[in-house]
Chains A and B, each alone.
Chain A
Amino acid sequence: METTTHQSDDDILITGLKSGNQGAFREAVRLYTPGMMAVARFYLDHASAEEIVQDCWVTVIDAVQTFEGRSGLKTWLHRIVANRAKNHLRKTKREVNADFSEALDPDLAARFAPNGRWATPPSLKTNESAQALMENGALSDCLDRHLSALPETQRSALMLYEAHQHKSDDVCNILDVSASNLRVLLHRARQKIFLMVETFQETGEC
Chain B
Amino acid sequence: MLMCRDLARIASDYIDGELGTGKVMSVKMHLLMCGRCRSFIGSLRASIELMNAHSSQQLDEDLVRRIDERVSESLNARRSGNDTSDP
B-contacting residues of A (Cβ < 8 Å)?
20, 22, 25-26, 29-30, 33-34, 37, 50, 53-54, 57-58, 61, 103-104, 108-109, 112, 115-118, 121-122, 124, 126, 129-131, 133-134, 140, 143-144, 147, 158-159, 162-163, 168, 183, 186-187, 190-191, 193-194, 197-198
Residues of B with Cβ closer than 8 Å to A? 3-6, 8-13, 16, 18, 36-37, 39-40, 42-56, 58-60, 63-64, 66-68, 70-72, 74-75, 78-79
Partner of A33, one of B40, B43, B63, B74: B63
The smallest C-beta distance from B65 to any residue of chain A, in angstroms, reads 9
Contact at B64–A30, with CB atoms within 8 Å? yes
Q: Nearest CB to that of B56 among chain A residues?
A: A163
Beta-carbon contact of A109 and B48 below 8 Å: no
A144 to B45, CA, bound (A): 18
A29 touches B5 (CB 8 A): no
A61 touches B74 (CB 8 A): yes
Whether A134 pairs with B12 at a CB distance below 8 angstroms is no
Decide: A190 near B8, CB < 8 A? Known: A61-B74, A61-B75. no
Which of A37, A116, A131 counts the most B-chain CB atoms under 10 A from its CB? A116
Q: Which residues of A have CB within 8 Å of B63? A: 33, 37, 50, 53-54
B72 CB to closest chain A CB (Å) equals: 6
* A-B pairs under 8 A by CB, number: 140
Residue pair B4, A116 in contact (C-beta under 8 Å): yes
A26 to B59 Cα, complex, angstroms:
13
Report whether A112 and B5 are in contact in the complex, using a CB–CB cutoff of 8 Å. Answer: yes
Interchain CB contact under 8 A, B5 and A186: no
Residues on A with C-beta less than 8 A from B71 are 22, 25, 29, 57-58, 61
Q: Whose C-beta in chain A lies nearest to the C-beta of B73?
A: A58
Measured CB to CB, the closest approach of chain B to A144, in angstroms, equals 8
Q: Are B55 and A194 in contact (CB under 8 A)?
A: no
Is B52's CB under 8 angstroms from A162's CB? yes
- Complex Cα gap A115–B43 (Å): 23
B50 CB to nearest A CB, Å: 4
Are B12 and A117 in touch, CB under 8 angstroms? no
Point out the residues of chain A lying under 8 angstroms from B10, CB to CB.
103
Q: Contact at B44–A20, with CB atoms within 8 Å?
A: no
Subset of 12 A-B contacts with CB under 8 Å: A22-B75, A25-B68, A37-B63, A57-B70, A118-B40, A124-B39, A124-B47, A126-B39, A130-B49, A134-B53, A147-B55, A162-B51
